[in-house]
Amino acid sequence: MPLIENLTEHPIALESFIDGVPMALAVLDHNRKIILINRAYEALTGFSKKEITGIFCGHILRSRHCIKNCPVLKMGANSEPAGIESDIINKDRQLIPIRLNVAIIKNQAGQVVGHIEAVENLKEFRSLDTQFRQAFTFEHLIGHSPQMEKIFKILPVIAQSDSSVLITGETGTGKDMVAEAIHQSSNRSKGTFIKVNCGALPENLLESELFGHQKGSFTGAIENKPGRFRLAHNGTLYLTEIGDLPLVLQVKLLTFLDDQMIHPVGSTKGFQANVRIMAGTHRNIELMVKKGTFRKDLLFRLNVVRIYLPPLRERENDTRLLLDHFLHKKNTKLNKSISGFSAEALKILLDYIYPGNVRELRNIIEYAVNVCQTNRIEVEHLPAFMIGADPASQNNPQIQMLEAVDDQPERPSSRAAEKNQTWAVMEKKMILDALSSAHGKRNKTAEILGWGRSTLWRKLKKHNIVE
């Protein structure tokens, strides 16, 4: 039995010594064959000491790094201890995440005679990390502010019903993601999730897109079209920018909510559709009802369950969480290894007001990761409009408003005129910044702003950005 001498007054049995270590240990010879293991190594791999003595360590650990990237092979006589994260397959064919630490063993003459491996089981740590992440996530939604925690608690309950849902909040707050998260957590998850942007299509095409049409019902109708309601049968139909839905189609949607029947354009027969309706908008729907541009009875039918998504500036401490999340996500997507942000860049990112909310933050990080060629994001990697932003103007609540002026409650005339003028300037700047970020591509610009193409075109003409 191997002994450890000169450590204490009497020699110590090496096997009993390493058995007292709670981490899995293995002693290898210079050919990477196992000489000795402790009990923790037996428990981790499932193999006994008698079974694996003299066996090549790669045949026992069966890690993906054993095949192509063995850390022992990279070690020379003067190498420092090395560690990698990997996984192993134990005797019961279970995949276990581990951290492997390797060090060389030298004799009295300084020659390498073997290696010692320390294998740490990361399964429990990964489980705790998953539980920690789940504490402030729901599906793909992320946040640990009190406002978001309330939403995360109620979403699973909402998902179990078939009630209509109205999701409100500024552009870029994640209304579409909330709608899809509810669908994926519901009993309809095996059905289809269909999303329709009510502001992206002209009225004459939108009716056909939603309800379908019969062949020959109008010029160009050369075949039957099922429509989004029929495609969403047994699933969910999400109508984003419901405030842009024309009054005529509002009536038709109200009829469906009453009797669950759809009538394709040009057809005399109805179709019973089992569809859950969810709608989203950044507009002030109540004000639209007062002005007669949105039906009051439709609002009542959609407003069975209402979810308000707060703007990012009101979500305490979520900005940093989202910065790290999107940095990790874009690192993976773009095959980068950026470790974080410089102190100056982080201060700018945390102080910025994000008028485009989470969508804008995501786009900013994607831009920064694309242009960054170092191991961390510096100030020069941020978009130019952020570096030149005036913090005083960011803190002005008038500039924080994203809804159009005609969607806001009326104010005294003098203040309203001042507010309208301020918003007009800010809205034009916002459009120009988005056009710059999208390199002039209008589809991308509309996506950045969270508008439909027709809305963007109207705004471009309003501000004389196009002829």
Q: Is the pLDDT of residue 14 over 90?
A: no
Average pLDDT, the chain: 82
Residue 388 confidence (pLDDT): 62
Residue 393 confidence (pLDDT): 43
Q: Which of 65-69, 250-254, 346-350 has the weakest average pLDDT?
A: 65-69
Q: Is the distance from CB of 71 to CB of 64 less than 8 angstroms?
A: no
pLDDT tens digits, residue range 106-117? Answer: 888 888 889 899
Q: Is the distance from CB of 352 to CB of 344 less than 8 angstroms?
A: no
Phi–psi pair at 386, nearest 5 degrees: -80, -40
Parallel, antiparallel, or unpaired: how do β-strands 276-281 and 271-272 relate? unpaired
In the DSSP assignment, the letter for residue 293 is S
pLDDT tens digits, residue range 361-385? Answer: 999 999 999 999 998 999 999 998 8
Of the two residues 327 and 48, the one the predictor is more confident about is 327
Q: How confident is the model at residue 317 (pLDDT cuts 50, 70, 90)?
A: confident
Closest by CA position to 309, among listed 176, 409, 125, 156:
176
Out of 3.40.1110.10, 1.10.10.60, 3.90.230.10, 1.10.3660.10, the CATH code matching 410-467 is: 1.10.10.60
Of the two residues 66 and 241, the one the predictor is more confident about is 241
Residue 137 confidence (pLDDT): 56
Average pLDDT of 74-89? 83
- The topology (CATH level 3) of 3-126 is Beta-Lactamase (3.30.450)
Residue 187 confidence (pLDDT): 87
pLDDT tens digits, residue range 156-203? Answer: 999 999 999 999 999 999 999 999 999 988 988 888 899 999 888 887
- The topology (CATH level 3) of 135-308 is Rossmann fold (3.40.50)
Of the two residues 57 and 400, the one the predictor is more confident about is 57
Average pLDDT of 99-105? 89
Residue 69 confidence (pLDDT): 79
Q: Is the pLDDT of residue 424 over 80?
A: no
Residue 124 confidence (pLDDT): 61
Q: How confident is the model at residue 395 (pLDDT cuts 50, 70, 90)?
A: very low
Residue 291 confidence (pLDDT): 93
Dist CA 169 CA 309 (whole Å): 5
Phi–psi pair at 439, nearest 5 degrees: 55, 35
Tokens in use for 375? 């191991």
- What is the radius of gyration, based on Cα positions, of the chain? 31
Q: Where are the domains of the chain?
A: 3-126, 135-308, 410-467
Of the two residues 51 and 128, the one the predictor is more confident about is 51
Q: Which of 89-93, 134-138, 232-236 has the weakest average pLDDT?
A: 134-138
Q: Is the distance from CB of 367 to CB of 383 less than 8 angstroms?
A: yes
pLDDT tens digits, residue range 211-235? Answer: 888 887 777 777 888 888 888 888 9
**What is the per-residue DSSP string for 228-289?**
HHHHTTTSEEEEETGGGS-HHHHHHHHHHHHH-EE--BT-SS-EE---EEEEEESS-HHHHH
Dist CA 278 CA 161 (whole Å): 12
Average pLDDT of 137-164? 85
Pure H helices in 406-452: 413-437, 442-449
Q: How confident is the model at residue 356 (pLDDT cuts 50, 70, 90)?
A: very high
Q: Is the pLDDT of residue 127 over 60?
A: no
CA distance to 136, 174, 322, per residue, from 327 (Å): 18, 18, 8
Q: Is the pLDDT of residue 128 over 70?
A: no
Residue 429 confidence (pLDDT): 82
Dist CA 425 CA 312 (whole Å): 22
Dist CA 160 CA 175 (whole Å): 19
Residue 419 confidence (pLDDT): 41
